[in-house]
Homo-oligomer: A and B are copies of this chain.
């Protein structure tokens, strides 16, 4: 590790992915790239939480199957989600007779799990690792804000938690998208206390990780076709651009945010999508497809997470955030 950046010399690669997304999500641009489009966000289950867990299972299985493998040919599962005690990941893991590493990075989980999976493969500890995460609008609203049944209105700075999940199979060999480096984020807290304004809270963490990444690697912004942030949304993305521009890095032309692009008409969801499923779905469907077809050659995938809980906010604490960056190359 140089500074906060790990280089993966053996270039572990994502040889297959799988995604699932809800009805609202599939109306947007990513709809035709998503593997499984739900017609009912309950996914045949009796509770939102069980639906979320089932989505996660589906993409873990999907990533394994799409790689032409069987469940017992995987060495490890690295997963986490937004629910208390990451129950979606833990319960999904019951079906796999392989070691499970539970991780928590809120909406940064896709990048965190990818980085841990790449480390396990690059270090020679594992041959094939599944990294996966997801979220569900209704379970997240119930846990973090208000049950949907209350019919609460949402403030204009809010985002919409994505119903969806994405999984990636990281392997030591095979055709795929290479993971060549990861810049692991530190926790950044700018004192934001508005739990409806995740974008503003997370933008400084994204800026910190992106600036650290370019400072450490000495790369130019043009070395990447895209800088993809996780789920800052429209407002958060504007703040990120300001913060990086102030430090002399202009990411404007090359930046796209998963939360900004996932929905069809972004205004309907205020600032756009959020949730661990947001970047997981966009990365493993749309972006992976564009990379495999050669339209994108090198991207910096920066998933961001807000590490608050209802208890911490209730006790007056601000919102600590984190962003992990992963370099993906074709």
Contacts and interface: CB of A to CB of B under 8 A. Distances in A.
Contacts of A127: 1
Contact of A119 (B84, B125, B308, B315): B125
A309 B76 contact: no
Nearest to A90: B307
Given A1-B75, A99-B186, A104-B103, A311 B87 contact: yes
A100 B310 contact: no
Contacts of A120: 1, 119
Given A80-B104, A103-B101, A49 B315 contact: yes
A47 interface: yes
List 7 tightest A-B contacts by C-beta distance, closest first.
A123-B123, A99-B184, A90-B307, A85-B309, A93-B187, A102-B104, A84-B84
A322 B104 contact: no
A186 B98 contact: yes
Contacts of A185: 99-100
A254 interface: no
A112 interface: yes
A146 interface: no
Contact of A104 (B104, B124, B309): B104
18 contacts: A49-B311, A50-B315, A83-B309, A83-B311, A85-B307, A87-B308, A90-B187, A91-B320, A93-B320, A96-B186, A97-B186, A102-B105, A102-B112, A102-B307, A103-B103, A103-B104, A119-B123, A119-B125
A323 to B, nearest CB: 11
Contacts of A35: none
Contacts of A87: 307-309, 311-312, 317
Contact of A91 (B119, B122, B312): B312
A135 B53 CA distance: 27
B186 A126 contact: no
Contacts of A186: 93, 96-100
A296 interface: no
